[in-house]
Chain A
Amino acid sequence: MKKKVLVIEDNADNLLLITYVLERSGYTVVSETSGEEGVKAALREKPFLIIMDIQLPGIDGLETTRRIRASAVNTMPIIAMTSYAMRGDRDKTLAAGCTGYFEKPIDPLTIMDQIHEIIGEKAT
């Protein structure tokens, strides 16, 4: 059975890109476009990994991460992907409970290797 990854991303193009890359690497992708829905999906789907955009409508990625970390399912890695290139964002995301941090734009050729390195799993 394929492992499940939850992607919370409001931009359809970027969602498409990351979904493509994840599926190509052999994961099942579940996606949500808002923080609130994302929290529900995390409880429901119990994904193996969450990819989190930071700028989201409603509650942002940081708050979403905090809520997931405060919920019953709080052990999976959460990797933040953000186009916030401001310094300090990295620390903020890690403080909120994220496991890793990527700055957009991502490089589809190397992103999976980097994710695997963070979550400590060999590429399949």
Chain B
Amino acid sequence: MSHNSDGLLKKIPVRRGGVLLFTLWTITIGASFAWNFWQENKAVLNQARSEAKGLFHKDETYRRWAALHGGVYVPVTDYTRPSPFLAHVSERDITTPSGRNLTLINPAYMTRQVLDMTHEHSKVYGRITSLQPIHAGNTPDAWEKKALQSFENNGDDEVSIIEVIEGERYMRFIRPFYVEDGCLRCHEQQGYKLDDVRGGISTAVPLDHYYALRQKHFISLSIWHLSLYLFGVAVIVGSTRLLGTRIRENETISKELNLDRERFRSLLALADLPATTEEELIHFALDETIRLTESDVGYFHLYDEETETIRLFAWCQKVMAQCHMAEQNYLYPLAKAGVWADCVRTGRPAIHNDYAALPNKKELPEGHLPIKRHMSTAIMDGKRIVALSGVGNKEKPYNKGDEQQLALYMTRAWEIIRDKQSKDTIKEQEAGLRLFRNLIDQSYDAIFIISPREGRFLDVNGRACEMLGYSREELLQLGVLDIDVGLPKDFSMEAYVKELRQTANHLMESVHKRKDGTTFPVELNIRLIVHENTEYIIAAARDIKERQVIQKKLQQHQRNLEKLVEERTATLAQQTVDLEKSQTALQHLVEDLNEANEKLKELDQLKSMFIASMSHELRTPLNSVIGFSSILLNQWQGPLNEEQEKNLAIIQRAGKHLLALINDVIDISKIEAGALPTECETFDLQPLIEEAVDTVRAEAEGKGLVIFQETLSMEIHTDRRRLLQCLLNLLSNGVKFTDDGSITVKVVFDDSSQFVTIIITDTGIGISREDVPKLFQPFARIAPPGSSIYPGTGLGLYLTKKLAMDILQGDILLESSPGKGSIFTIRIPTRINT
């Protein structure tokens, strides 16, 4: 980073110096131009003034000449008439002896005439003027008056001004003239003395041709200054550029030197990296390459030439953090890889400095980091491509140096890994061999490698030495025949090997002899193997002395076991018979139960039929009872005495009670059978409550009770008939058990809830807390002791609760206290699900 800030520090003064120089140059040229122009202007005006002054001097000279002579006599003509202003002068007009008339022309008259003539020939104006003019035409204008006053009072001797006269610019110029001897002849009477300011000669010189001159000079001045200015600017810019380039070149060189140093250092660091895993090494190399090529991202992938597949191996940390591609380590066929794998296809490094403009690139997968620039190279091991590595998103374009860096660095990384791998492999192989040898030595079996020709031991394991009591060296001097004493007398190695060649594996038992002469039984597992065109016999020997002992014991155990099994089998057979019996009994039981169940079902049907026919059978006689008692009570068949009427009323009431009972029983049986359909409709709750109240009103008012209503109009969707039935039951219940006071119906609805609550409060007898649950049971009769029995079916509240819960999907609550009254709360959904 240090070289960057150095460069910055050097760059700033160069640019600043350039700007400063430029500014100075601009100011200098500007100032020069302004000064020159000002001088030029001054010179031109001075020239004009000189002209005016010249004119003045000329006029003044004429005037003085005339004054010297006290005026001159000229012949009288039309142009020169005797001046009326000189009438006071004696001998103004004279006649020559020849008779010509002459008149006196004084200097003023003469000057006026001269100046008028001058104006006729040129644009120059001129006149004489005075603060005390004799000739009214000589009266000064404002500027002339001011000038004349300044001549008199301050002793100034000339005044000039630039003014526009008749559309043209003029320089007006005035100088005084003084009273001389000659003047007094005419002007003494005005009180002038010698050397007084008599007046002034005022001239006006046209400035246009002076300005034209100034314009010409201005143009040449401009051209000259502009050329000089541009030349200077070119010199400044050129030199600044040159200087900047020099400095930048120096910077680049030193930067590259630094980079090279860094690269070299980094390469050294790579080689010196302590024992790390491949991943760490590659990551280190990758991060270094990214840093040294000033890239943003990088990757390193392995390549398998045979299968033409790329194994994604490592991404730099940044890619790992920013890329959100699902899989991160998988095989990728070369054919499917994008332009980033071109280096593998061509074998040459690929630089893509404008990635977006590449014609044949594939779309990046979703979640992939956006790529601006990219450079990749194939990593070679000899002539083989073994990997590819790339970096991307450098700020500046990638160049040859970056490419070399990438190739050099990643190739080196690969070499280190390869060397490390091969070293590791050898170490691993050695370690593996040692482990293997150790395992072989520790094997439970004695292992012999035997030459097939003479049966000599070529190698043996530790167990073999241990089992036979020889050292390894001793055993390697011996052969099969020295230790195996179980072989047949006619054993021939040659024949045996032939036999072995036919079978894969030969299993046999034999007897081995130890060094001390003792013998032990062995089981041998022998096979013939071919290794590098040479035949070997491998024999594994296992001491089976213990096994033989165990086998004998096992045989004994087996016999015992067999006996035991026989006994147990007999017991089990008996148990099975018992179990079968139990099962049969159980089956009978289940059959009985099924039968009972069938009977129950029949009974249930019977019950339904019974209720249906009971309804009919009971209603038919009730029709007569209620009908005829009604006819009699209505006195259709003649008047009744008081007692007859009373008794008939009892008959009618009993009949109606019986009818109500039947209706309740039918409803309950239907609800219990689930056969009472819900008939939903949408309606207003308020009229429903009024209908219920109206139905019981007569009865209530007959008892002197007041019914209060606190209802509200709201739509609900439920079974209207059943809700009315519930409310009627609760209301008539309240009326029935209240002797004085009131019944209150109140509707409570909260918008947020999906339930409406109807509260029916009475001031009746009430019941105790423990009796509350009983009240909703069928045929519950909770009468306070000593009170008369209240009429009713005994099913009303039971039915009401069933309707409220099963049909209206709500609930009923009761709060009550004896002597104070009861509060029935029915809470139902405003919209029920059907």
Chain A contact residues, CB within 8 Å of chain B: 11, 13-14, 16-17, 20-21, 24, 55, 83-87, 104-109
Contact = CB atoms under 8 A, between A and B. Distances in A.
B677 interface: yes
Contact of A105 (B616, B626, B636, B677): B626
A20 to B, nearest CB: 7
Contacts of A105: 619, 622-623, 625-627, 655, 659
A114 to B, nearest CB: 14
Interface secondary structure of B, over-half rule: helix
Contact of B623 (A55, A83, A84): A83
A109 B630 contact: yes
Contact of A108 (B615, B631, B663): B631
Contact of A83 (B620, B625, B655, B677): B620
Given A85-B666, A104-B620, A105-B622, A17 B612 contact: no
Closest 4 interchain pairs by CB? Answer: A83-B619, A13-B624, A105-B623, A17-B627
B627 A106 contact: yes
Nearest to B619: A83
B628 interface: yes
23 contacts: A11-B620, A13-B624, A14-B620, A16-B624, A17-B623, A17-B628, A24-B636, A83-B615, A83-B616, A85-B615, A85-B662, A85-B666, A104-B619, A104-B620, A104-B622, A105-B622, A105-B623, A105-B655, A106-B627, A107-B626, A108-B627, A108-B628, A108-B630
Contacts of A24: 636
Q: Which interface residue of A17, A21, A55 has the most chain B CB atoms within 10 A?
A: A17
Q: Which interface residue of A16, A105, A106 has the most chain B CB atoms within 10 A?
A: A105
B621 interface: yes
Contacts of A84: 615-616
Nearest to B616: A83
B695 interface: no
Interface string B616-645: 100111111111101100101000000000
B656 to A, nearest CB: 9
Contacts of B628: 17, 108
Nearest to A12: B624
A104 B623 contact: yes
B630 A107 contact: yes
Nearest to B625: A105
Given A13-B621, A85-B663, A104-B623, A55 B616 contact: yes
Interface in B587-627: 612, 615-616, 619-627
A55 B659 CA distance: 19
Nearest to B615: A85
Q: Which interface residue of B616, B662, B677 has the most chain A CB atoms within 10 A?
A: B616
Interface in B683-715: none
Contacts of A21: 631
Contacts of B623: 11, 13-14, 17, 83, 104-106
Nearest to B632: A108
Interface string B657-670: 00100110010000
Given A13-B624, A14-B623, A87 B677 contact: yes
Contacts of A13: 620-621, 623-624
Contact of A86 (B612, B624, B625): B612
A66 B169 CA distance: 135
A55 B623 CA distance: 14
A104 B612 CA distance: 14
A83 B620 CA distance: 7
Given A13-B621, A17-B628, A109 B616 contact: no
A17 to B, nearest CB: 4
A13 B655 CA distance: 15
B42 to A, nearest CB: 129
Contacts of B615: 83-86
Nearest to A14: B623
Q: Which interface residue of B619, B623, B634 has the most chain A CB atoms within 10 A?
A: B623
Nearest to A85: B615
Given A11-B623, A85-B662, A85-B663, 14 more contacts: A13-B623, A13-B624, A14-B620, A14-B627, A17-B624, A55-B616, A83-B615, A83-B616, A86-B612, A104-B619, A104-B620, A105-B622, A108-B627, A108-B634
